[in-house]
Chain A
Amino acid sequence: MNAKIPVDLILRNIEESRKTTRKKLRRATAVLTSKLDTDISTTPYRIVYEEDRVKLKHYRPEQVKCQTPLLIIYALINRETMLDLQPRRSVVESLLAQGVEIYMVDWGYPTRKDQYLTIGDHVNGFIANIVDFICKEKKIEQLNIMGICMGGVFSIIYTALNPHRVKNLVTTVTPSNFDTDKGLLNVWMKQTDAQILGDVYANMPGDIMNLGFLLLNPARLIIDKYVGFIQNIDDKNYVENFIRMEKWIFDSPDVPAATFREFIDELYKKNLLIDSKLVIDGERVDLQKITMPVLNFYGRFDHLVPPEMCGLLTSRIGSSDKEDICFDTGHIGIYVSSKCQREFAPKIAAWLLARDNKNESLQSEEKHGQKRQALQALL
């Protein structure tokens, strides 16, 4: 027999929810029509170098504590503005506060004319020119490099090909081992011919890639995310943060067709990087040549670049000073979540400072030793 349903309770709930919704709607209208602060990338910087579509941003801290500047190389997918999403939630701001001088690559928006640019053109062209520029400007021989996702792959390749130019290497959510079936992106890239889209569209359209990323978890990214937005639509702070994130996510430059094809064929399908078999512009990328200190970050819940794709790097490089750090977060959370904000940038700064000072004291000891020897020889 069916149990009795408390109809009066249901009706009361409906009435209460109607009243709440009405109030919420009024507040939401007030919030959405008010002046919202949704600007991203607000930390001041100067453009110090330009080459074609590529620009180099320079952020100078109030007090430079780390003598070696840090060059941040972002991915070609989405934009580097994610590292400076909003005040108090900004990797850039945090690193500057720790006294790290930053140079950051802004890859710009590739157009049809950029379709032939390969990984080699990005690494041996743009990145090599930028490193030379910074070294010349700062009168230094080496700098620190931090790579993000695909930019991390570029950083690894550049470092292996030019180890004398890199003092310390930081890789974050960087895929290096593609021999895994973890993560849908891995499965799709291997089992489909997605690279042909890049060829017919001249470049791989950012919108198509974004659609692909949304389809990695449609329930959360297409439905739940916006349900969450509606539920908090009367909270100005929430709305502002949400819009900032939307601005960043859907600001997707196209990826040059040749790079896109190479990335899928040589890395996703053949997994050449981790085995030191990747050849760029005729030169083999030998991971054993990476002998400088390496700090490797990744996220335990990263569905785009799962830990299996990141963790193997440190065991294949030639360096003895290396560290893996796995945060309990996802691909983007590592840069924007409050918890990671407290740990991620400060850890990088401390790690760089420790090696900066160490090297400096080693160098100064070396100089003193040379001076002592010279004096002794004179005496």
Chain B
Amino acid sequence: MTDTTTQSNEIGNFVESWMTMAKKFWPEPGNNREDGLGSSGLKFDSGNGGGQADDDKYKTYKTFENSINNSIAFIKLMMAPENRETLHRSVAAYTEALTESAGDSLENFIEFQSQAVKSFAKVGEHTKAYTLDDLDHSAFESFRELYRNELQKYLKIPKIGLPREYHERMSELVDKSTIFFSHLIELIYQFTTPFEKTNRVMQDKIKKMLEGGEVVEDPKQVYNDWIKILEGHFMDMLKSKEYTDVLNDTITSLAAYKGVKNSVTDAFLKEMQIPTGREMDEVYKDIYNMKKKIRDLSRQVAKLQKKQEA
């Protein structure tokens, strides 16, 4: 069994000596100075009482000294024999909670990693030409799942204080950009699959030619074949529901990201006294409505004039 009393004493002594050192750090360089500042008493009692720094001009040092003293007193109190057992239990509980939390996250991460490895392994598998059923959406969805379960919640922590709105906008920007870029990467990944399939078809074709003793005499012909097959694979992919779904996700997430980005930009513009996009839109809307009204009225006037003339 571990001797908790000895351990706590060691920690207590270590923290106390560190605090004392920290307390001495600021006043001492001042003492070594030869100018007026050094000799004007820029030092204070490093003991528990002492009031050399009680002058208004040294109030920063006084505040610092008080904080250190309070911390030392608190540590001493915590290290008192009657509190040691409780302290030890609390530290143990805290460590346990941290370990558990890290364990959960690690478990989720390992799950994600295992899914990702499986999914990426699929990419290397033989893919049938002109079929897009094996387009792997799960690797990207796994990432989004991990993000939604493990990271998004931290960005959604309620913001407080004066700058809460700015914090909220920035968190939202990070959130929306992560989601958008995950969809964009998936979309880009989809565009690599027709190339992969085409290259496989061409490799097989060239292999057969070489086995038959044929040589590619006209590279242009090979290119023409390649581009024709590639076009076919692209057409199949672009028509597929999988592609349209990813495209739509990319569009909607881009719109959400752009919306938040606009709102962050507006906040900066407002600070710089520059009219924001939203403010300008209001002005434009007014101008638009006025122009429309003028157009209608002008036509009515012209009609009336014609009637009068007739």
Contact = CB atoms under 8 A, between A and B. Distances in A.
Interface in A178-234: 184, 187-188, 191-194, 196-197, 199-202, 215-220, 223-224, 227
A197 B288 contact: no
B238 A193 contact: no
Contact of A197 (B211, B223, B235, B251): B251
B17 interface: no
A192 B277 contact: no
A303 B247 CA distance: 19
Interface string B229-262: 0110011001100001001100110110011001
B137 interface: no
Interface residues on B, range: 35 or more
Nearest to A6: B215
A251 interface: no
Chain B interface main SS type: helix
A215 B251 CA distance: 14
Contacts of A121: 292
B213 interface: yes
A116 B285 contact: yes
Contacts of B281: 112, 115, 202
Given A10-B215, A218-B234, A223-B227, A112 B284 contact: yes
B191 interface: yes
B164 interface: no
B198 to A, nearest CB: 9
A192 B217 contact: no
Contacts of A215: 238
Given A116-B285, A219-B231, A3 B252 contact: no
A199 B191 CA distance: 27
Given A3-B212, A200-B262, 6 more contacts: A2-B213, A5-B210, A6-B215, A10-B215, A113-B284, A200-B258
Interface of A: 2-6, 9-10, 13, 17, 112-113, 115-117, 121, 125, 184, 187-188, 191-194, 196-197, 199-202, 215-220, 223-224, 227
Q: Give the 7 A-B CB pairs with smallest separation, nearest first.
A: A3-B213, A219-B231, A192-B248, A200-B258, A113-B284, A116-B288, A219-B230
